[in-house]
Chain A
Amino acid sequence: MNRLSPDEENAQNVVSGTAMPHLRYRISFGKDGPLRYCSHLDLMRVWERVLRRAGIPLVYSQGFNPRPKIQIAAGLPLGYISTCEILDIWMENDPLEPGSMLSALRLAAPQGLTINTIHLVALSEPALQSLTASACYQVTAKNSAIEPGMLEKRVRELLSQEHVWRERRGKRYDLRSLIRQVEIMPGTPLMLQMTLELSPQRGTGRPDEVLDALEIDALSAVVTRTTITFEASPDS
């Protein structure tokens, strides 16, 4: 087979629609309102449609069933609110300035999807999911009858243990090793702030598991993810 010159190869790629990705953007967004009840998998589909409405041409995978190339840093459980989710998208070319992309995305977003920022990142950067280290959550326990003093005691007890063994989906794990910090915030209704591991190596802590360990009804609590921290944040 004859080898093609880079120019010819490029031209062929363009014709056959298999051009290499040119640009990778990182979008920070919030999820609230009706989207609070949308699962992680459904959210990916919501994003694909937002991007299509905004006229942003995504790179697609090859093969029998091509998928658009988008990555979300960390799946947010259904029912949680977030102000700080992170999405990477790969674009075929550059038809829009980040500023106009931002306004196009805002126009195309459904109720509950807030676009915070968008910026270019290096194509060579590792996958988003491999970059995260921890996340902060704010919890409002609306119907909790628990006394603040009692809660303080339970938090102290939880944090003083070396291991807190629990079972989730038939798997035994140590919840304590996934908790970095739990704090009670002043005021009513009852508010907690917690920092949990969000790491491909060390594991992911779930706020509902912490609430359960503290004997707070997780289903009537409102949980908001407020920060995702990267292991060695290359952008900040």
Chain B
Amino acid sequence: MHTPEQIERALEQVLLRVERPGRYVGGEFNAVSKPWNSIQVRVALIFPDIYEIGMPNLGLAIFYDLLNRQPGILAERVYLPWVDMEAMLKRDGIPLFSLETKHPVSDFDVLAISIPYEQLYTNVLQVFDLSGLPLRSIERDETMPIVIAGGHACYNPEPLADFIDLFVIGEGEEAIIEIAQVVGEMKAANLSRNEQLARLAQLAGVYVPRFYEVDYQEDGVVAAIKPIREDVPFPVLKRVVPILPAPPTRFVVPNIDTVHNRAPIEIMRGCTRGCRFCHAGFVARPVRERSIDEIVMAVEDAVAQTGFEEIALLSLSSSDYTDVLNLVRTLGERFAGQRLSINLPSLRLETTSVELMESLRNNKRGGFTFAPEAATERMRNIINKSMPDRQVLEVARAVYSKGWRTIKLYFMIGHPSEKLEDVKAIADLSLAILAEGRNLHGRKATVNVSVSTFIPKPHTPFQWVPMDAIEQITAKQSLLKRELCGKGLRVSWNDPDETLLEALLSRGDRRLGSVIRRAWELGSRFDAWNEWRKHDAWVQALSEAGLDFHHYTHRTRPVDEVFPWDHIDIAVKKSFLAQDYLMSRRGETRVDCREKCFACGILPKLAIMRSKIPADAWKCPPVAPKIEPDEVSAI
């Protein structure tokens, strides 16, 4: 047992011996320390990577704000130590601790772990290990904290099913408060861990993996997923807030540099574009916008409360915000001359975007970012992100002529139907854009090209598609590296091993639990960090479990395959995704579903919720008569 005082004293001996000790001390402006002993339910909000990565995370900032507003609940932050500090903690027997009051993680009632991406899985085990807690859910008893997890990676919770007590599927704003309240009520009740979890499983959006079992076919494909208790939901429908609650504005202001030094204000959740590769575009439906008034007030409040020099207006696709021009004009006027930089990322490649950025009156040092994703019309149709070719250069010209010198472009390679000529077109387009810049700014013009690699994500129309062959990915990357070198060009790409690992983990089933554990035992952690990822450890861990990458990442699936995540209901129908997948094979596109409803399924699934809010709150148009093509009617 360690007291906070013991931890503080032990820390003082090691802090000057590690890199950037400001990560481990807390005490930032707006950090909340509640009196530990007079609070009933204590929640540790854990981001399983280092402070600099975890601090800017908006999800945890929302929960920190919401939970600490509740009188009977406290929330404190926990991040993973970097490897130098990890060695010190182990050497001196210091357990993982919270930043606010330096309590050991194991002293909390609830550990809420945010898992936005799959490369954090081994870090989750690291959290348990450094906290002195058993790794597996069934090995932890009622004297230990209840471990909950959420975030975008948890729409396929199966790879972590062994380790997490319960997942919140979907949006956590309401669920996390309900969970904390139920945990508080159960404190005096002397229940077993199983009984506690059975009670929590009654809350909407809560998935307790131990109450479900999975059967596999001989070839390793899932045969069926079944609940083993009658009182748990099946399938588990994701949690959604019908209307976005007021955004947090009293952000904790770090004393050290972090990856994003800014106040994030979410202007809209969900997206109606339907880009077929985009996980967020399907799991985050429906669209919900905040009003201009609410956003302007939030920005004002955030600046006053934090002093941040930068505000980021976050959404999946800013250009689709209904009255976006009015929003940026209002903000631009309101904050003119205040030296505030207001970021509006995720703009569409169109001339209106230049006008939008002009209205915000920022300095133009940061460059202008677009994500065309593909450079040929054929590929754009396959991924459902259409735009006319000539438009791209027109927009580039407009951007450079308004004084920006840098254009950043996001492309994606590696869809199996992509050919080398589609990749060559990416290079040609980037060079043509640079030429536009050269005309106006000479050698000061730059184009940064960021090339990611396609991963067939769960819950998307591409969930049936295999990942591209590694040799193909390497050949495509080499082509780009060869074509795009020289002054004014910068290219970045993902290591194919990293993509392979992300594909494996995002498509994994429960059998990956032992693989993750073994890879961690072999030294894997910080898998999102190129210098720390140990590909050999994963290869060895898979082979020891009698599994391989190919089954998970490189098979073409029949349309009727049962996926490990099929019991997780994102409110979009599997038959809708299948229909969209088949359309992509024919090169057919769908327009923005604000214009025309394609019956994805969210309206019937969330009908009761929607009946209580204004009809236009989700931007869904009136529903067209339902037509199901024959080819997918079997699903």
A residues with a Cβ closer than 8 A to B are 17, 33-39, 41-42, 45-46, 48-53, 58, 60, 64-66, 68, 78-79, 108-112, 219-220
CB distance A66 to B363 under 8 Å? yes
Choose from B24, B26, B309, B365 the contact partner of A49 (Cβ within 8 Å).
B309
In the complex, which residue of chain B has the Cβ closest to the Cβ of A16?
Answer: B337
Which of B17, B25, B257, B363 contacts A34, CB < 8 Å? B25
B363 and A64 contacting across the interface, CB-CB below 8 Å: yes
B13: interface (CB < 8 Å): yes
B388-403 residues with Cβ-Cβ distance < 8 A to A are: none
Cα A220 to Cα B21 with chains together (Å): 14
Bound Cα distance A120, B306 (Å)? 26
Report whether B256 and A52 are in contact in the complex, using a CB–CB cutoff of 8 Å. no
Known: A35-B255, A39-B256. 11 other contacts (CB 8 A): A37-B15, A42-B255, A48-B309, A49-B308, A52-B309, A65-B363, A108-B29, A110-B253, A111-B28, A219-B17, A220-B13
Q: Choose among B255, B256, B339 the residue that contacts A68 (Cβ–Cβ < 8 A).
A: B339
Contacting residue for B22 out of A38, A49, A53, A65, CB 8 A:
A38
> Separation in Å of the A94 CB from the closest CB of chain B?
17
B305 within 8 A of A: yes
Residue B522 lies at the interface, judged by CB distance under 8 Å to chain A: no
In angstroms, Cα B308 to Cα A17, docked, is 21
B339 in contact with A60 (CB, 8 Å): yes
Asked if residues A53 and B304 are in contact (CB atoms below 8 Å), the reply is: yes
Q: Are B27 and A112 in contact (CB under 8 A)?
A: yes
On whether the beta carbons of B307 and A108 are closer than 8 Å, the reply is: yes
Q: Does residue B528 face the partner (Cβ distance < 8 Å to A)?
A: no
**Are the C-beta atoms of A33 and B27 separated by less than 8 Å?**
yes
Instruction: State in angstroms the CA–CA spacing of A220 and B15 once bound together.
Output: 10
Query: 21 A-B residue contacts at CB 8 Å?
Result: A17-B337, A34-B27, A39-B256, A42-B22, A45-B261, A49-B253, A49-B306, A51-B307, A52-B307, A53-B29, A58-B339, A60-B339, A65-B363, A66-B363, A79-B15, A110-B28, A110-B29, A110-B253, A111-B27, A111-B31, A112-B27
Give Cα A58–Cα B27 distance, bound, in whole angstroms.
26
Min distance, Cβ A223 to any Cβ of chain B, angstroms = 10
Residues of the A chain whose Cβ atoms lie less than 8 Å from the Cβ of B303: 52
Q: Which 7 A-B pairs have the closest CB atoms?
A: A34-B27, A49-B307, A52-B307, A53-B307, A110-B29, A37-B21, A111-B27
Chain A contacts for B13, CB-based, 8 A: 220
Contacts of A220 in B (CB 8 A): 13, 16
CA distance in complex: A102, B393 (Å): 53
Distance (whole angstroms) from the CB of B296 to the closest CB of chain A: 18
Give bound CA distance, A29 to B305, whole Å.
21
- Taking Cβ atoms with an 8 Å cutoff, the residues of B that contact A are 13, 15-17, 21-22, 24-29, 31, 253, 255-257, 261, 303-309, 337, 339, 363-365
Q: Report whether B337 and A35 are in contact in the complex, using a CB–CB cutoff of 8 Å.
A: no
Note all chain A residues with C-beta closer than 8 A to B17: 219
Q: How far is the CA of A65 from the CA of B21 in the complex (A)?
A: 29
Query: Which residue in chain B gives the minimum CB-CB distance to A219?
Result: B16
Q: With a CB–CB cut-off of 8 A, which chain B residues contact A39? A: 22, 256
Contact check, A34 vs B22: say whether CB atoms are below 8 A apart: yes
Minimum distance in angstroms from A150 CB to a CB of chain B: 23
Chain A contact surface mostly:
helix
Q: A48-B309, A53-B306 are in contact. Are A37 and B261 (CB under 8 A)?
A: no
Query: How far does the Cβ of B136 sit from chain A's closest Cβ, in whole Å?
Result: 36
Q: Min CB distance, B302 to chain A, in Å?
A: 11
A34 touching B261 in the complex, CB below 8 Å, given contacts A48-B307, A53-B304? no
A68 to B256, CA, bound (A): 18
**Complex alpha-carbon distance, A29 and B468, angstroms:** 59
Instruction: List residues of chain B with CB within 8 A of the CB of A51.
Output: 307
User: What separation, in Å, do the CA atoms of A48 and B340 have in the docked complex?
Assistant: 12
Q: Is the CB of B256 within 8 A of A42?
A: yes
Q: Is the CB of A79 within 8 A of B28?
A: no
CB distance from B221 to the nearest CB of A (A): 52
Residue of A nearest to B365 (CB): A65
Question: A50: which B residues are within 8 A, CB to CB?
Answer: 307
Q: How far is the CB of B403 from chain A (nearest CB, A)?
A: 10
Tell me which residues across on chain A come within 8 A of B309, comparing CB atoms. 48-49, 52
8 Å CB contact of B26 from A17, A34, A41, A52: A34
Chain B residues closer than 8 Å to A42, beta-carbon distance: 22, 255-257
Assuming the contacts A17-B337, A46-B255, A110-B255, asked whether A34 and B28 have C-beta atoms less than 8 A apart, the reply is: yes
- Distance in Å: Cβ of B28 to nearest Cβ of chain A: 6
Bound: A110/B305 CA distance, A = 12
Contact in complex: B253, A38 (CB < 8 Å): no
Q: Which chain B residues lie closer than 8 Å to A35 at the CB level?
A: 27, 255
Name the B residues within 8 Å of A38 (CB-CB): 22, 255-256
Give Cα distance in the complex from A48 to B308, angstroms.
Answer: 9
Tell whether A78 pairs with B28 under 8 Å between CB atoms, given A42-B255, A49-B307, A49-B309. Answer: no
Q: How far is the CB of A87 from chain B (nearest CB, A)?
A: 15
A42 to B21, CA, bound (A): 12
Least Cβ–Cβ distance between B561 and chain A, in angstroms: 51
Which of chain B's residues have a CB closer than 8 A to the CB of A17?
337
Given contact pairs A52-B303, A52-B309, A64 touches B365 in the complex (Cβ within 8 A):
yes
Looking at the assembled complex, report how far the CB atom of B618 sits from the nearest CB atom of chain A, in whole angstroms: 37
Max count, chain B CB within 10 A of own CB: residue among A37, A41, A111 = A37
| Residue in A36, A45, A53 whose CB lies within 8 Å of B305 | A53
Interface centre among A39, A50, A51, A109 (most CB of B within 10 A): A39
- Chain B positions within 8 Å of A45 at CB level: 257, 261
In the complex, what distance in Å separates the CA atom of A220 from the CA atom of B14?
Answer: 9
Q: How far is the CB of B545 from chain A (nearest CB, A)?
A: 42
- Inter-chain CA distance A50–B24, complex, in Å, is 21
B16 neighbours in A (Cβ, 8 Å) = 78-79, 219-220
Q: In the bound complex, how far is the Cα of B306 from the Cα of A49, in angstroms? A: 7
Question: Which B residues lie within 8 Å of A53 (CB)?
Answer: 29, 304-307
Cα of A109 to Cα of B255 in the assembled complex, Å: 11
Known: A42-B22, A68-B339. A34 touches B255 (CB 8 A): yes
A219 to B25, CA, bound (A): 17
Contacts of A37 in B (CB 8 A): 15, 21-22, 24-25, 255
CB distance from A48 to the nearest CB of B (A): 7
Among B13, B16, B26, B363, the one with the most A-chain Cβ atoms within 10 Å of its Cβ is B16
Q: Which residue of A has the minimal Cβ distance to B11?
A: A37
Please give, as numbers and ranges, the residues of chain B lying within 8 Å of A58 by CB-CB distance. 339
Closest to A63 in B: B363
Q: Measured between C-beta atoms, what is the minimum distance from B230 to chain A in Å?
A: 51
Q: Which residues of chain A are near B306, meaning CB under 8 Å?
A: 49, 53
Report chain A residues within 8 Å CB of B308. 49, 52
Bound Cα distance from A110 to B304, whole angstroms: 14
A50, B337: Cα distance in complex, Å:
18
Complex Cα distance A53/B29, Å?
11
With both chains docked as a complex, state the minimum distance between the C-beta of B434 and any C-beta of chain A, in angstroms. Answer: 20
Closest to A49 in B: B307
- Give the residues in chain A near B27, CB-CB below 8 Å: 33-35, 110-112
CB distance from B132 to the nearest CB of A (A): 25
Task: Report how far A42 CA is from B26 CA in the complex, Å.
Answer: 15
